[in-house]
Amino acid sequence: MTVESFEDRRWRAVWHGIRLMGVETRRAAAGATQAHGAYAVAAAAMGRLLSAAALLGSDLKETGSYLRLTVEGGGPLGRVRAEAHADGLLRARVDHPGVELPPTARGKLPVGAAVGSDGALVAERVAADGRVYTSASELVSGEVGEDVAQFLWSSEQVRSAVALGVLVERDGSVAASGGLLIQALPGADAEELGRLGERVETLTDLSWRLAAGERVPDLLEWVVDKPITDWVVDSLHFGCLCSPEQSRQLLRVAPPAERRAWAREGGAEVVCHYCGTRYRFAADEVLA
């Protein structure tokens, strides 16, 4: 399968009192997959949550603010987490990236079984000054898309339709990743939203359509069955915020006895949970 290499993007528009949003996150999902050496089902879970974070974080404006989504459903993947920052940075992590499960009867990756449904989706909005606003809802299926729609309704009373998809090739590479979100604004026609929601629910092949070269704006225009001309487009990119100085801060808060023990062993290594970067500190740096 030949896949064109598009930059990650987010598209936003308002149509008849209904908010339309979509994201393409293939590069971010591929970056997270490579950073963690993730197997297919872990790659799919991270990719879906990355798309969800990019969609829900579309209203971030202040530099330094970000949205963190965490799903912990009791499944073998453990906790899955994704962040979307105001500058378009995306990153994700999973507790157990090496989990491997057989495909479903329909031949799809068993994301729901890997994530589990006995838990919650937690959203943390972190302001630039460090203030954190947290909301949560119980998981519906662990498939992420249904859980995000349930979260928007139960925590924010916003009726929404969500479609998320990630296609992982046999060699473990990410061929496509993206998502769509249809939301009702105050005063929106409930019948019209229901009609659009039904069309979104038919996009069970979203990842395949993206991999075949269809673009998110085209898919959203297919959902509303009308051309949209006033898209707002944002750039997204995979990245991380770790640094040697942040790693030193972690060493500074470690108990003195532990620092002395690390120094006797020749130094210490701090590994970033998001990108896998390793920061090595010699014994004298650890003691200092």
Question: What is the average per-residue pLDDT within 129-142?
Answer: 95
Q: Is the dihedral of CA 192, 193, 194, 196 positive or negative?
A: positive
- What is the token pair recorded at 7? 């930059």
The mean per-residue pLDDT over the stretch 44-53 comes to: 98
Helix (H) or strand (E) holding 268: strand 267-271
Confidence check: pLDDT of 21 > 50: yes
| pLDDT tens digits for range 99-122 | 999 988 888 899 999 999 999 999
* Dist CA 49 CA 67 (whole Å): 12
Is the pLDDT at 151 greater than 50? The verdict is yes
3-state DSSP helix/strand/coil % of the chain, to nearest 5: 35, 30, 35
pLDDT at residue 175 is higher than 90: yes
Which pLDDT does position 287 carry in this prediction? 85
Are the C-beta atoms of residues 18 and 183 closer than 8 Å to each other? yes
Q: Rounded mean pLDDT of 170-176? A: 93
- pLDDT attached to residue 157: 82
Query: Where is pLDDT greater, at 164 or 107?
Result: 164
pLDDT-derived band at 4 (thresholds 50, 70, 90) equals: very low
pLDDT value of residue 2: 34
Note the pLDDT of residue 9.
Answer: 97
- Flag whether pLDDT at 45 surpasses 70: yes
36-45, 64-73, 263-272: which range is least confident on average? 263-272
Residue range 198-219: mean pLDDT, rounded: 89
Query: What pLDDT is stored for residue 205 in this prediction?
Result: 85
Question: Do 51 and 104 meet the contact criterion of CB atoms below 8 Å apart?
Answer: no
Residue 137 has a pLDDT of 95
Give residue 194's pLDDT: 83
Only one residue has tokens 């690390």, namely 262
Q: What's the rounded Cα separation, in Å, for the pair 49 and 85? A: 14
Output the pLDDT for position 196: 85
Question: For residue 6, what pLDDT is reported?
Answer: 63
Least confident of 58-72, 84-98, 171-185, 194-208: 194-208
What number of other Cβ atoms are within 10 A of residue 37's Cβ?
12
Query: To the nearest whole number, what is the mean pLDDT of the chain?
Result: 91
Q: How far apart are CA 21 and CA 37, in angstroms?
A: 30
Of 198 and 174, which is predicted with more confidence? 174
In order of their start, the domains of the chain are 9-238 (3.55.30.10), 244-287 (3.90.1280.10)
66: Cβ–Cβ under 8 A, 6 or more apart, which residues?
57, 60, 83, 84, 85, 86, 89, 125, 126
Residue 5 has pLDDT above 70, yes or no: no
144 DSSP 8-state letter? S
For 94-136, the DSSP string reads ES-TT------TTS---HHHHH-SSSEEEEEEE-TTS-EEEEE
Burial class from Cβ neighbours inside 10 Å (0-12, 13-18, 19+) for residue 172 reads: middle
Contacts of 196 (CB under 8 A, 6+ apart): 18, 161, 182, 223, 224
